[in-house]
Structure 1
Amino acid sequence: MNFKWILFDADETLFHFDAFKGLELMFSRFDVNFTQDDFAEYQLVNKPLWVDYQDGKISAQTLQHTRFKSWAEKLDVTTQTLNSAFLNAMADICQPLPGAKELLDFLKDKVQLGIITNGFTELQQVRLERTGFADHFSTLVISEQVGVAKPDPAIFHHAFEQMGHPDKSDILMVGDNPHSDILGGNNAGISTCWLNAKQETVPDGVKPCYQVNSLSELHSLLAPHIK
């Protein structure tokens, strides 16, 4: 367990991602009272789009355009305007998950750290800078820039190239999503740790090497092995 590289997912692994709160703030800036019913309707469109995106069936641009299409027509603005407004709102409400700062501060000078995210470019760097985490990571890989999303092994291979092709046995992938993060890590041939905060059952075909319920638990797991 003596890892030299630890790769993290971003949303719900290092950072809270409260989409309703972000949309509520974003739409308030357009003088719209965005409700839970509106959110449920939005998710009927949004959730299948993310599955298609992760499965490589649609592009990031298609996802961003389609999820806001009906609202763009209602408000007479472009889908790009709404997408940027949403990502700005998400940056404004961003908070690290409990234990994230302590864990990253502990790891910073002991191992190399990276992020592999299916999130969008416009949010990632701003969020890292605002939380003070930007200097912790030597590698930041964003699916929108690479053109493929987790769990596709290609995004991991892109990361390995940025990392200078370390031995795969030296790499640990940490994430909350068993499909994109853990199956993705399995497919790429690296060790994985599932941040399973809701203590869900491991899906068929997914094989995490480790499971933790919190970042504090991960900190305790890693501490004895990282000097």
Structure 2
Amino acid sequence: MYYKWILFDADDTLFHFDAFAGLRRMFAGFGVDFGEQDFAHYQSLNQPLWVAYQDGDITAEQLQHQRFAGWAQRLAVSPRELNSAFLTAMADICAPLPGARELIDALTGKAQLGIITNGFTELQQVRLERTAFRDAFSPLVISEQVGLAKPDPGIFEHALELMGRPPREQVLMVGDNPHSDILGGLNAGLHTCWLNPAGKPVPEGISPHYQVGSLHELHRLLLC
């Protein structure tokens, strides 16, 4: 295989990320029937916060606080408590995406594997342990720990340093987000593969080296 290193995003690349299900599970523990309208309102707050986080305008702690500040006041608990309960709920319902386990098993021993994620430590580490994926990936680079988020080139440079500075053309970054994963990888000089199951058009100014609709397709691309 050509690539010596494969770097993966985590949420919606290796793992199914159903925020609505996680929030319903979390809020049920506080006696709240969290519905679709509640989720729509949550997303109207959460999504701009993620953009601000990825742009470096707010910290991970600020994101986690602000997205639950209103609910925390309503339920008379701290935003930190709600955020931790949400991450625990997401860990409880975690599942690898179809083809993820077969792909990782097939790549093990043929390439070195790592993860670069903008997700939060409390979820990422537990989820890797529960899915028995933890030993497959090194490095595990989490933006919350580094203080930089994709697409900032600095988080990719940090990962490359941990990897021993391999030739960049031998490193493939795989992710579902064209801006944080693909543009970020391209700006760091890496080869990129956009996981695009919905068949969305490629955003202007972003040119991934490869595009696949599933991890099964990526499997065939890399190993057949």
In the alignment, structure 1 residue 118 sits paired with structure 2 residue 118:
yes
Taking only the aligned residue pairs, the percentage that are identical comes to 68
Corresponding residue for residue 91 of structure 2 = 91
- C-alpha separation in 2, matches of 1:203 and 1:110: 32
Aligned residues: 224
- C-alpha separation in 2, matches of 1:108 and 1:77: 44
- C-alpha separation in 1, matches of 2:80 and 2:71: 11
The root-mean-square deviation of aligned C-alpha atoms, in Å, is: 0.7
Give the aligned residue type for 1:222. Answer: L
Give the aligned residue type for 1:147. Answer: G
> How far apart are residue 176 of structure 1 and its match?
0.2
> How far apart are residue 58 of structure 1 and its match?
0.6
Give the aligned residue type for 1:120. Answer: F
Could you say what secondary structure the match of 1:13 adopts? Answer: coil
1:61-210 map, 5 Å: 61-210=61-210
> How far apart are residue 75 of structure 1 and its match?
0.6
- C-alpha separation in 2, matches of 1:189 and 1:60: 26
Give the aligned residue type for 1:91. Answer: A
Give the alignment's TM-score, normalised by structure 1: 0.98
- C-alpha separation in 1, matches of 2:18 and 2:113: 25
> How far apart are residue 143 of structure 1 and its match?
0.4
Corresponding residue for residue 215 of structure 1 = 215
Corresponding residue for residue 56 of structure 1 = 56
User: C-alpha deviations, 1:181-217, integer Å up to 9, x for none?
Assistant: 0000011000000001100000011110000000000
User: C-alpha deviations, 1:23-72, integer Å up to 9, x for none?
Assistant: 00000011111000100011111010001011111100110000000000
- C-alpha separation in 2, matches of 1:109 and 1:4: 10
Could you say what secondary structure the match of 2:150 adopts? Answer: coil
Corresponding residue for residue 11 of structure 2 = 11
> How far apart are residue 138 of structure 1 and its match?
1.5
Extract unaligned runs of 5+ from structure 1: none
Corresponding residue for residue 25 of structure 1 = 25
Extract unaligned runs of 5+ from structure 2: none
> How far apart are residue 220 of structure 1 and its match?
0.3
- C-alpha separation in 2, matches of 1:106 and 1:194: 20
Could you say what secondary structure the match of 2:122 adopts? Answer: helix
Give the aligned residue type for 1:99. Answer: G
- C-alpha separation in 2, matches of 1:124 and 1:184: 20
Instruction: List 4+ stretches of structure 1 deviating above 3 A.
Output: none
> How far apart are residue 128 of structure 1 and its match?
0.4
Give the aligned residue type for 2:25. Answer: L
Could you say what secondary structure the match of 1:34 adopts? Answer: coil
User: C-alpha deviations, 1:96-152, integer Å up to 9, x for none?
Assistant: 000000000000111100000000000011000101111111110000001110000
- C-alpha separation in 1, matches of 2:58 and 2:186: 23
